[in-house]
Every structure is written in structure tokens, then in C-alpha cells.
Amino acid sequence: MHFKWRSCLRLLAVLFTFDCVRCLYEDQIKKFDWRSLHVGGVERADLDMNGFQPRLLLSTRENVLASLCPETGELMWRQVFESGIRGDIKLMQISSTSTASDNTAAARISSSHGFDMLTVQGHNPALIRGWNSNMGLSEWEWSLMPLQSGRAIDSFWFYSKSMLYHILPIWQSHLEVTQYFASSGQPLGNTAKIAASWIDKEKCTLSGIYYTCLEKQQLITLDLTADQPKIMYEDLENVPAYPLKNLEGASGVLIVDKKLVAIKNDIPVCKSLLSQSYIVGNYKKEKIIITADVKDKILHIQSYYLESCEPLAQFSSTLSYPEHLGIPNLKAFDCKSSRNSNDGNCLFIFDTTDDSIVAVRQSKILWIRSEALANVVSAEFVDLPLTDNEGVLENEMKGKADVPFGLDSDIMSAFLHRITSQIMHVKSLLLHVIGLGPKPSDTQRAGLVRDAFGLHKMLVVLTRSGKIFGIDNISGKHHWQYFLNNVENFANDQEMRLLVQRTSKHFPLSALCTVVAKDKLTENGVLLRFNPITGQTSEGGLLKLTYKIKQLTLLTETDNDFVKGLLIIDAEDRLHVYPEYATKKANGIYMFTAQKDQATLNGFFVQYENKELTILPLWNVDLSGHNGDHKIISLASKNPLERVHSQGRVMPDRSVLYKYINPNLVAVFTLAKDDVHKFLMYVYLIDVVSGSIVFTMMHRKVRPPLHAVHSENWLAYAYYNDKVRRVEITTIELYEGKTQANSTVWSSLNAPPLPLVERQSYIMPAMVETLRETITERGITNKDVLIGTSKGSILELPWYLLDPRRPIASKTSGREEGAVPYVPELPILTDNIINYNQTISRLRYIHTAPSGLESTCLVVAAGLDMFVTRIAPSKTFDLLKEDFDYFLISIVLIALVSSSFIAKHFASRKILKQAWK
């Protein structure tokens, strides 16, 4: 008996020990950071409100399988598959949604037969899995390797009567249909080939078990489950203006120009309906159809019986629809059984064109998930405005610089304004105390005011769907949203741009940001100018251009309104400036364009003469090689906000090795296939003002993915070494030498001789997804490189570990210079992972920005998830620690001051006594 008690006590002691090991430090518990999890835009959805545990199962366009809580929208679990076509979810089948004829049951406990949820993913190979939908665990799996992997990308699947049907279309020829037992993968018979010369990828769709194609004004349909193929025809009144869509929940019903069309006469359908979105479901053992339309900012939800088309008034509802949401598309609905109510307490799930998930219940929006943040294109940190009183004080302290002498000079004016401002502040304080002061502005009520250290900022995020967010970087709260409809990225794999034309530092002028994108329909440029603090459009708002954008840049000089003009080159090499009154500031600007496929770069010079802008071609660089097979795979330029604090590096002999700091230097990477070395990658450092090639280097047997970061006088880039099958990082540093050509002004036209180049390569024991350097306001803080890995971690690597001047052998001179001995493999220390256990799925974007503290750098990382934090590469040398004992230091100071006065008193008395002796 005593032995059992001792064993239990030992077991408890071991459990308590493990519990202590799992704890986190205080600064790791989301104190200075936050993370948001996303799943992406909904592709398929299934809602169950009457089960043991209500659930909303989703498959998304981001290849994510997830379960949400229907009441709150909270993420219960998710499975993130491979990106691209390899992880594409082609089928999601839920056992509870199967019809009675399917004869399908959920999987029993400890049983491998049947399924609770089935998915088909990818095509080469195609993976068929059975899932436990409550926990998100895979219970069984089988795969199918296609014989023709090139054609299998267009294959699709559907489920019927416990069988999986695999359809492989051979366009303009035939269909290959194969049946498999869903749980085992055993084929049933041979592959059937159905002749269908009319099938076309852009004009066909699958509706349940029917495959329908559009041929002019006629629908041609095949029943894919029939023993003998039979072709059915259905004539249309007009040629459809939009592609065919299948009606979710109904087999053999299509949506043609917002109307319902049945491919067979015996299929019941309401032909009189006209709606933007439809869905079919069950209510009290009867089929009903739900429609949803937005008219005049009001969402109208209507319901009808599918067979008789009679309306159901208890499901009809209207509600105010937010402007920042796109067009809604019904994905799922279900009604919770209730004895005391006839409306069924229905919940409607919508997917919108701005990639949001909206849940509506009883004429109210229950919750919204902003899944557009799963595809962040660009982000900017914008300073918050000052309070009204601080803004007035700052404006008055500027003085009158145009009056050089007298009482109205700059110093006297600033002094008088300061005294006046202090009196006004005291008056304002008294009015607020007695309750007669002015009301705070909207930004002040929302807490959007600048703090003392500039750590609190507005994070403006642009997403691929055209959705723009204004997010609080401290709390993660979404202060405003704006949807820019029908826009997309530019050609040549260039993403939409988010530019800051005016910051919040110019009181009383508000900040100004601009989004530059391409219209989906016309392919012309689109400009949206808005206030990043409030999200309201300004300075003209939305502007649709009449030309295509070839290149753009921000002007460096500003006018009296402190707005940096936007210079655009269109497809016909004509120049445009927005706003137009900043046209004069474009004089003397150098620009360049790059054609990736042709591997050519062209440089231009902008002149302003006779009130017109002209563009002059200056240089052309051809990097396509002697065979013309080289292509540009990446370009890396320097951050325009970067400031260089130190111009040189101290050597062991106390001399200075000056940095080659060329702000016009751009790194260009080209790739070509080679019969001997497989791949050849060239690195070029090109001055884009003069067109001169400063440095070039070649790598053999290396290939993408390539990621680069360019800063000060160094370049770091990561690539995959195909020879040894590992990821490597190469760093390059440029130096002018022991003498500096010009320490004040850099000129690319009078550049110094070619620089001295130091280079070194390192082994990175992880797949690199993105690179970014830290940046601070004055450049005094040490530079670190942020490395985003495929595992979702962000590694903060100090530059001294990537320094190409690290000596091979441990020498005294190297230690005196501050370079550590060279080690090929870079360490991945857990202390240097800034997101600790907050993993970021599919991390692909990192943006850094300076804060008001020189030691602190703000960071936002995005992929499928978003993570925001702040880091201090050189520690917080300009900020007291949070555990600083103010009480103790106050007591010490008071004691020292008191003792000094007491000592002074006794010293004077002693001197007086000695004088009387």
C-alpha cells in the first residue's frame, strides 16, 4: 500500500516538473506582438447546426481545410496543404450531406470503413483522404498516380452512391471516366471513354452527376453515371454573357445569366427567379432554394420551395450591407430545430468577392472574417497624428522663418508663440475641468494619437483582392476597411503598389496614401488616394486612368503641401504626374525599366521644358546572353528610407576601409539552363543612373527560389544549390578602399573606380521564403537580417554572422576588426526566432519600418497568417527597462540631495568655528 502511494507521489512530481518546463517568459506572451490566423476565401462549405457539435466545414482557395464555430467564426482546426496545384482541393464530400440514395454513413469509432469527411487533393498524385471532421485528423488515405500527368491537371472528381468518379477530359476529343470505391481506392471495372468533341475548358461545368457544355445557344449534357452514355440537349433563348455555374445542392441545375436552367425536363426548378446568388438545401424534408441580392446597400435574402416556387416568408430578411464588403455569394445555410419558433433560427454563410466570410442570422450580421489578409501584397506603417493641442503647439513653434531681424524674427516669434500656446493650454485645461472644453476628434476617441516614442502607428495593408485595411499595430484592431473592386496585379509579375505620398508629420495636413493597380477589364491603371488614418478617400479619391502603366516612382522633392508627386510612364513612354501641380518637381529624375523575359534594362532621363515633360532614353543593357536564353528572375534595390550612419569600417591598423555606398545600385539576377551545369545564375550590380555594371558573378548548378536583400554597401541572397541539394546564402560587401572619393555628395555620373569586393557563402539549414533587413530612423543601430523560413519562423540573424570578411582561420587581426571566425553553417538559435511559437503558415512577406526610438524596428510578417511585432537589434539602449525601480532611485536621489545640503551646513559651521579660534 505504501509502495502505491509513493508511486503516485512520484508521478505527480514528474507531472508538475513537466508543467513548469512548458511555461513561457513574460516577454513572450504576446506582450509586444499579435498574430491573426486565416483560412482564405471559401471554395466549398458545409454547415451543420443540429449535430452534437455545431460546425462549419470549409475548403478554401488557399488549399486549406478548416472548421469554424458557427456562432463566433472562431477557428476550431485547420489543415494547410501544399500551395499551388499540388494542394488544390478538388472535392470535399461530407457524409451528412449525402442523399439517401448514396447509402453513406459516417465512420465508426476505431473503424476504417466509410467516412465522416472525404477530400480529393492534387492530381500528380491525387490524394484521397478520409477525415475525422470533429478533430481534423486524417483516418485513412490512398493515392492515384496518373498515366498522363500533363493532362491530369484538368481532371475532376465527384461522389455518388459510395463511389468516387474520376473524370479526365481530353479537350475537343473525349472523356475518360473511372469508378473507385471511396474508402479503399479499388477500381470498379475499366476506364470508360465517352466521345465528346464539343468539350471545352472555358465552356463546361459539372453539376452533380451531369457534365454540361455550352455550344452557342445550346446546352449539351452527359450523365456520367449512366451505363450507356446519353447526350441531352437544351436550347437557350440567348447566348449567355457569363460562364456557366452549377447550383450548389442540386444536381442537373445550372445558373445561366442569373437564371436557373434545368438540363432535363423532369428536374424541378424555379425558372422565374433572377438573382446574383443561389443555394439549395433541406427544410422539414423538403427542398428549398435561397437567393441573396444586394440593392442600394441592402442585402435581401429570399426563400422558395424548389418544386412549387412558393415563397417562404419566415426565411425572408433584409439587412444593411457594409460598403467595404464585395458581392456576396451564398455558400451554405442551415436551420436549427426549434419547438417554439417557425423560422428555424437559420444561419447563412456568404463568401464575398473581397475574400470575406460573412455569417447572417435573423436580419443581422453575426460575424465577419476578413480572409483577404491571407494574401497581403504590400504594407506600410504610417505615423499617427498629434492631438489637436499638440498639433497647434507644433505649428506655432515653427515661427516665421521669412523675417530675418527684429522682434518678428524666428527666435522671438517662436518665443512669443510658445508663451501664447502655454496660456491657451492652461485655458483649455480649465475648460475641460469644468466641462466646457471642445469635444475630442474621432481619431482621439479611437485612441489614434501619436505616443512619445512613435511605437503606436497605423498599419495600412493592401491585399490581392483589392481590400485595404487600417490596422492598429499595437492591438491588431481593424479601424477601417476599403474595397477596391475589379483590380489585380500588373503584368510581368509585378504586384500592386501602396505608396505614402504624405506622412502625418505636417499638421494640420492629413496623411495621404495611394494605391496603384490594374483594372481587370480594361487593363488600364487605377489610382486610389485616401487618408490612411480614417480610410476616407481624399485628393480626388478613385481615379481610373486611360492608359496602361509601365513604370512608376515617387518624386523626392515636395511642394508647400508636402505631397510627393507620383510619376508614371505609360505603355507608349508618355509621362504623367499626380497631382499635376507637382510636374515641375519631376525635372531631373532618372528611371529604369526591366523586361524579365528579354533580360533587358533601359534607363531614362526626365526633363521639364516649355511646361512639358519629356523622356530621354539614356542607356540599354542586354543580359540575355549569347544564346538569348537568360531571363531576369529577381531585382533587389535599396530601401529609400535607409540612412547610413557610418561611412567606413575600422581596420586593425586603425585605418578606415570606406564603404561603397551607391544609392542608385540595383542587384539583378538572371537564370539560364545549361547542358553541362543544368542551371547558370548570374548576379549583376548595375548603376541605374549611368547604366554601368559595377560587379558581376556567376553561380553554377543553382536555381530558384531566390530571395535577396540589398542595403548600404552589402547584398545578401539565398538560393538552392542543386549540386549538393541544400540552401545557401551568399553575401557581398563593396568598399571604395582606404580613401574616399567624395564624403558629402554621391554622383553616379562621376563615380569612383570599381569597388573592392568581399564575398562569402554560408549554408542555411532551412528553406528560405523571404529576406528583409532591419531599419531604424538614424541608422545607428546594428543591421540584422530577418529570414523567413518554410516552417513559419522568422530568424533574426545578426550581420556579423553573414559578414563576408569573417576570417577562415582565427587570427588576431580578425578579432580586432570584430569579425568572428568563419563557420560554413549558419546557426538557428531559438532565442533569435522573433515569433517564438507563433508559427506563420506560408510565410512569404516581411516588411520593416523605423519607429520613434532609434533602437526599435517595427516588423510585419504575412503569409496565410499575419504577425506584427517590434524588435531591438542592439537591445533597447535608449529606453529604460520595464522593471526599472523608480522608487529606489527616487529615494537615493532624495537622500543624496538631502545629505549634500546637510553636509554643506555642517561644513559652513566648521569653517566658522575654525575662524573664531
Model confidence at 864, pLDDT cuts 50, 70, 90, reads: very high
Cα separation values, 590 from 197, 328, 457, 672, Å? 56, 45, 32, 29
Cβ burial, residue 308 (10 Å; 0-12/13-18/19+): exposed
**Could you tell me which residues are beta bridge partners of residue 232?**
221
- Residue 436's pLDDT band (boundaries 50, 70, 90)? low
Amino acid at 214: L
Label residue 314 by pLDDT band (50, 70, 90): confident
- Phi, psi for residue 224 in degrees, rounded to 5: -75, -10
Helix (H) or strand (E) holding 417: helix 410-434
Residue 727's DSSP bridge partners are 720, 764
pLDDT at 118: 93
Residue 823's φ and ψ, nearest 5 degrees, are: -130, 125
Instruction: Encode pLDDT of 804-828 as tens digits.
Output: 999 887 666 666 677 888 999 999 9
Determine the pLDDT at residue 440: 61
| Mean of pLDDT values over 405-432 | 68
Q: What are the strands of the beta sheet with 784-789, ordered from one edge?
A: 768-773, 784-789, 794-798
DSSP annotation string for 661-724: --TTEEEEEEEEEETTTEEEEEEEEEETTT--EEEEEEEESEEEEEEEEEETTEEEEEEEETTT
Confidence class of residue 396 from pLDDT cuts 50, 70 and 90?
low
DSSP 80-91: E--SGGGG-EEE
Q: If you ran DSSP here, which 8-state letter would residue 373 be given?
A: G
Does residue 454 or residue 119 have the better pLDDT? 119
- Tell me if 248 sits within 8 A of 258, measured CB to CB: no
pLDDT > 70? residue 390 = no
- In the predicted model, what is the mean pLDDT of residues 449-463? 91
Q: pLDDT tens digit string along 564-609?
A: 999 999 999 999 999 999 999 999 999 999 999 999 999 999 999 8
Q: Mean pLDDT of all residues in the chain? A: 87
Q: With a cut of 50, say whether residue 472 has pLDDT above it.
A: yes
**Res. 126: pLDDT tops 90:** yes
Q: For the segment 732-782, what is each residue's pLDDT rounded down to a tens digit?
A: 999 998 888 777 778 888 877 889 999 999 999 999 999 999 999 999 999
User: Using 50, 70 and 90 to split pLDDT, how confident is the model at 401?
Assistant: very low
Task: Give the model confidence (pLDDT) of 275-287 as tens digits.
Answer: 999 999 888 778 8
Q: What is the pTM of this model?
A: 0.88
Q: Which residues contact 485 (CB under 8 A, 6 or more apart)?
A: 326, 353, 354, 466
Percentage of the residues of the chain whose pLDDT score is greater than 70: 88
Rounded to 10 deg, the angle between the 388-396 and 410-434 helix axes is: 160
First to last CA, the chain: 91
Question: How do strand 866-871 and strand 612-622 relate by DSSP bridges?
Answer: unpaired
pLDDT at 409 over 60: no
Question: Which pLDDT tens digit goes with each residue over 537-556?
Answer: 998 889 999 999 999 999 98
Mean pLDDT check: name the lowest of 156-160, 174-178, 490-494, 754-758: 490-494
CB contact set of 885 (below 8 Å; sequence gap of 6+): none
Best-predicted range by mean pLDDT (27-41, 135-149, 458-472): 458-472
Report residue 340's pLDDT band, with 50, 70 and 90 as the boundaries. low
Q: What is the CA radius of gyration of the chain?
A: 34
| Set of cell numbers at residue 369 | 472574417
Asked if 798 contacts 782 with a C-beta cutoff of 8 angstroms, the reply is yes
Q: How far apart are CA 580 and CA 582, in angstroms?
A: 5
What gap in Å lies between CA 785 and CA 775, rounded to an integer? 10
CA distance 484 to 463: 10
Question: Cα angle vertex 745, ends 740, 750, to 5°?
Answer: 75
Q: Tell me which residue of 337, 295, 299, 297 sits closest to 319, measured CA to CA.
A: 299
Residues 6+ apart with CB under 8 A from 286: 305, 306, 307
Residue of 143, 142, 160, 163 lying closest to 152 (CA atoms): 143
Question: Rounded distance, CA 322 to CA 320, Å?
Answer: 7
